[in-house]
Structure 1
């Protein structure tokens, strides 16, 4: 919620001139939404436990409780889309990450 509140406060300061929401980045506004973790329905042998899907990213929580964000900042959008599809189908996501070095090493470092 903090980022939306900050954006709203920024617009409130400019109230006399109106608020130009087009200049508030989608990532800033979208990042503040609470997206629920979806359980990964793959096999018990998968390293993936759960995932979150956003417009330009997928977050993966592995069974070791580490969370990695993969986004279009560092990975080609077609691969992000493929990861989203695999996550939703509950098959092959961990394998895909491990077999694609650009994905495996391309998570966002925050």
Structure 2
């Protein structure tokens, strides 16, 4: 996993990992959620990848547009 830069300073995201059709997002509580092209969909996953690489806006995007629409979780 890559460290999430958290340029805003108040994100709940601490790390992320990307694959060709998914992104895994690890939050402060230690739980990692996997978002895929199947759920919540390619448009959301690709936007989340861009935000993760930029280090800003990922947690807010998930809250506003994705919610609990994740494929799986490790916790």
TM-score, scaled to structure 1: 0.62
Mark the structure with the bigger radius of gyration: 1
Paired residues in the alignment total 72
Match in the other structure for 2:59: 94
Q: Separation in 2 of the partners of 1:109 and 1:78?
A: 18
Q: Separation in 1 of the partners of 2:68 and 2:39?
A: 9
Identify, as 1 or 2, the structure richer in strand.
Answer: 2
Unaligned segments of structure 1, at least 5 residues: 1-36
Does structure 1 residue 75 correspond to structure 2 residue 40?
Answer: yes
Q: Separation in 2 of the partners of 1:86 and 1:98?
A: 13
Unaligned segments of structure 2, at least 5 residues: none
Q: Separation in 2 of the partners of 1:109 and 1:85?
A: 21
Q: Separation in 1 of the partners of 2:5 and 2:26?
A: 13
Q: How does 1:1-110 map to 2 (within 5 A)?
A: 37-42=1-6, 43-100=8-65, 103-109=66-72
* Off by >6 Å, runs of 4+ in structure 1: none
Identify, as 1 or 2, the structure richer in helix.
Answer: 1
What's the CA shift for 1:71? 0.4
TM-score, scaled to structure 2: 0.89
